[in-house]
Amino acid sequence: MKHHQLRALVAIATSGSVSAAARSLSVTQTAVTKAIKELEEDIHTPLLIRTPQGARLTPIGLELVERAKSILSDIEDARAHVERLSGGGNHRVSAAAIPAFFSRHLAEVFSMFRSRYPDVQLTLQDSFLSTSLPKLRDGTLDVTLTTILPECIGSDLEFQQFCEIEIVLMAQRGMFNRPVKNLGELVDYPWVTDGSSCGGYEAVRRTFTSSGYLLPTNLTESPSSLSSLVLVEQCGCIAPSPALFLGGASVPPGIVKIDLKQELPKVPFGLLLRRGAKLSPSVEWMCECFRAITRTPGWDKL
């Protein structure tokens, strides 16, 4: 049994399909299939039942998954322990995530990371892409968990997509007491954006254009989540946001989702890193903390 084979098995068990497992591991489906086939040949036992609906573990596969999780955890613990003893590796981890994610899952990320690396200097920040992207490129950030449009991913970056998330429009409670038919009805209202041309607002802007509507002209850029919330709740601005933000602890009760009947596009969501960067075990573990939370059923539900 090899490390990458056990990781592939656990990923399939968690995600429910070979394709989803491949995305979570940032490898090809062929690589995942090959790893499982080699593992089955090694132990002379089938581990998966493949169906049109996905992959289902055999009883032996289910038993092995639990052992595999324990083995993989022990390996990571040993790696962290050796890193601390040797004094080597990266003793600083700087990670960011969009406010929509950290407003709900910051405590989980912190606790999970510190369970393995209690002594690493840790910097965590909620950050829109307009702020995190330059920091990632200049090395100030090791990794950011974000929404990003595919065409914005330069050759210097690597994006590990987890899923696509829904974009909604936030507004002051009581501002709209009826459903809004389409974006055209919102052109004349003030809007607040994070200043990025690669994320949620850009997706909404393109929907304005493709639908034949004029674009809002009363725009305020605010790369601060706190300022954006104040502008929505107290100044009557409209703001695009991942839907999961509305379930976060930082969103005041005076902010609600606009009942917009026009469908808005979903935006890719995942880890963004510098391409080719050598990640220390502690940074790798931070990435795994993000992955583990987004694999939890219902992590993005209101």
Structural domains of the chain ordered from first start: 3-86 (1.10.10.10), 164-267 (3.40.190.10)
**How far from the centroid of its chain's Cα atoms is residue 297's Cα?**
14
Q: What tens digit of pLDDT does each residue of 104-161 get?
A: 999 999 999 999 999 899 999 998 888 898 899 888 899 999 999 988 888 888 999 9
pTM, two decimals, is: 0.71
Spell out the residues 6+ positions from residue 126 whose beta carbon is closer than 8 angstroms to its own. 96, 97, 98, 99, 101, 102, 103, 106, 225
Q: What tens digit of pLDDT does each residue of 178-225 get?
A: 999 999 999 999 999 988 888 889 999 999 999 999 999 999 999 888
Whether residue 237 contacts residue 243, with contact meaning beta carbons closer than 8 Å, is answered with no
Whether residue 68 contacts residue 9, with contact meaning beta carbons closer than 8 Å, is answered with yes
DSSP code for 264: P
Alpha-carbon separation of residue 91 from 96, 178, 275 (angstroms): 17, 53, 21
